[in-house]
Every structure is written in C-alpha cells, then in structure tokens.
Amino acid sequence: MEIDQKKMLHYLNQAAKLKIKAIFMAETRPLSDSSEFFVNTQKPPRFIMPLSSTKRIRFAQDGAVQDRLFTPGEVLFFHSWGWSSEVWDHEHTMISVVFRDRYIRTLFIHHNGLPPDQNGPDIIYHTVSPLSSAGAHLLHSILSARQNSESQFLSFRALLQNVIETVENDRNTLVGKEAFTWDCIQDYLETNFYLNVTRISIAKALHLHPATLSRLVRKRVGIGVNEYISNLRMEHARRLLVENTLTVDEIADQCGYRYTSYFIRKFRQHYSESPFRYREKIKKEREASQN
C-alpha cells in the first residue's frame, strides 16, 4: 500500500472523465444469502467505481441480492451500513471513496483477477478535513434522488469534483503525522478486521514499525492491537445478531473466526452472555415493545 496524494488525484481525475451510465444503491437488506463471500458493511456512506474492465459485486437492492458485473461509468453507492461482497475474479482497476466524519478516505486498487482476494488498496489517501457542507448536500441528494435520474448523475459529478478539490487543497494544510497515521490505522482495521491480520501484517501494510503500531493503538484507545481487533469483531457480531438473519456459524465466519466454538467463547467474554442468549434477549425485547 502506498500513501500518495498525487497518484490518488490522477485516478480521481480519471474517474471524473468517465461518462456516468448508471448508479446503483447498496442497501442494508436483505443480507447476503451466501456465506461464501465476506460481507463488507461500513457505517459511513461510500461509493465504488471501476475505472477499467469489469468488477463483480454482490449487494442488496430492491429487496433482493444482486450479483452484477460493473463496468467503467457504473457506480455503486452505499447507504449507511449498506453491504457488498466484492468478488475478485476479474482483472480490473477501481476507486473507492468513503465519507467518514473526520476525513474522506480515497483508494485505488488494481487487481489481476487471480487469488487471493484483495487485501488492502494499492494507493490510499486520507484528507485532513471531512466533506464540505456543499459536498454533504450533494451526498444527501445522491442518496435521496430518484435512481439514475439526471439530477442524480449531475450531483454525483459535482460530488466527485468536490472530493478532487478537497484532496488538492490538502497540499496547503499541515497535519500532525501521528494524527494522519492513526486515521490510516483505524481505517485499515475497520475495513480488514475480519481477515487473519496480525500486528506484523498490519504494520507491513501501513509501512509502520510494529512497535509504532502498538504504541499508537494503545495511546489512542488504551488497549492492544489484538484487543482492538477483537472489539471490532464483537461489535460487528452484535449487529449481525440483532439483524437476526444469519446463523451463529455464519456470523462467526463473517467476523473472521474459523471455529464457531471459539467465537462463542469470545462473545461470552465480551458481552457476558452467549450469542444465542443475546439474540433471544433482543427478540423478547422486540416482542414486548410491539405489545
């Protein structure tokens, strides 16, 4: 992974030159109908856009699980907590933009279509500032407009230009190296917590010394790297249990646990009850509120 503002701008501008052909909207339901592919869900809105060739993505839209080959000029936008399963079986290049509260995360990926699946971007850049108020209005317009309407296309083009200008303006903004590095660590872990990541592999991906990684995580959140990853997994597991769509075995797999028994033990340690009891408690609370 390379952190490079200039290269990221190149790929963002490449995206801006494409004619927008269609915008699809990834929703929260229904959840994935298969445990074969990892389901990536994130709270902040985001979009994926292929720049070359075709990219296969599974996602929820219009009450069904869609499985589609996206081509350049087609965009997949995500509502908050909207999910996708990116299938890395076609060579392609793509950009992804995530609108977090504190900054905009931009990334570029070139995948050869061969195993293994992508593990992190090739080029990444985090802006110092979040999306501007004008950009936030454009984002809201895209998420609420009639799908594939001219106004939605125009709003997307304006939003993409807003992102480009925000990245460009970072050239004149000074930010502490530690704050920027911590944003990169958070973003990497929140995106890859389900993988078999270790302190060494995370540090390598982020071009950090393992000791620096451990020091920053402990300084920022007061716990070690492994515990921080475990907390991310447990929060994701809790949300999936509340959804009440996947089995406990499937949730364990989605959270990165090879053995369900180990997942159950970790969940009980974290929440003081088993996944089964937690799900049953939520079910009873819902029934009581309905009555």
Residues forming a β-bridge with 124: 3, 107
Looking at residue 117, what is its pLDDT? 78
Looking at residue 175, what is its pLDDT? 57
Which tens digits make up the pLDDT trace of 169-207?
886 454 577 887 888 888 888 888 888 889 999 998 888
Enumerate domains of the chain plus CATH numbers. 2-175 (no CATH), 199-290 (1.10.10.60)
Average pLDDT over residues 9-36: 92
Looking at residue 151, what is its pLDDT? 95
Which tens digits make up the pLDDT trace of 196-253?
889 999 998 888 999 999 999 999 999 999 999 999 999 999 988 988 778 899 899 8
Which tens digits make up the pLDDT trace of 81-129?
899 999 999 999 999 999 998 889 999 999 999 887 776 778 988 888 8
d(CA 166, CA 160): 10
Looking at residue 172, what is its pLDDT? 47
Percent residues over pLDDT 70 in the chain: 98
Which tens digits make up the pLDDT trace of 141-151?
999 999 999 99
How many other β-carbons are positioned within 10 Å of the β-carbon of residue 32? 21
Looking at residue 21, what is its pLDDT? 97
Looking at residue 214, what is its pLDDT? 96
Looking at residue 178, what is its pLDDT? 83
Beta strands in the chain (DSSP E): 2-3, 22-26, 40-41, 46-53, 55-61, 64-70, 74-78, 83-87, 92-99, 104-111, 123-126
d(CA 211, CA 221): 16
> Residue 92: exposed, middle, or buried by beta-carbon count in 10 A (0-12, 13-18, 19+)?
buried
Write the DSSP symbol of residue 50. E
Q: What is the dihedral of CA 193, 196, 201, 203, to 10 degrees?
A: 20
More confident residue, 163 or 115: 163
Which tens digits make up the pLDDT trace of 26-43?
998 888 877 778 788 888
d(CA 125, CA 2): 9
Average pLDDT over residues 245-269: 91
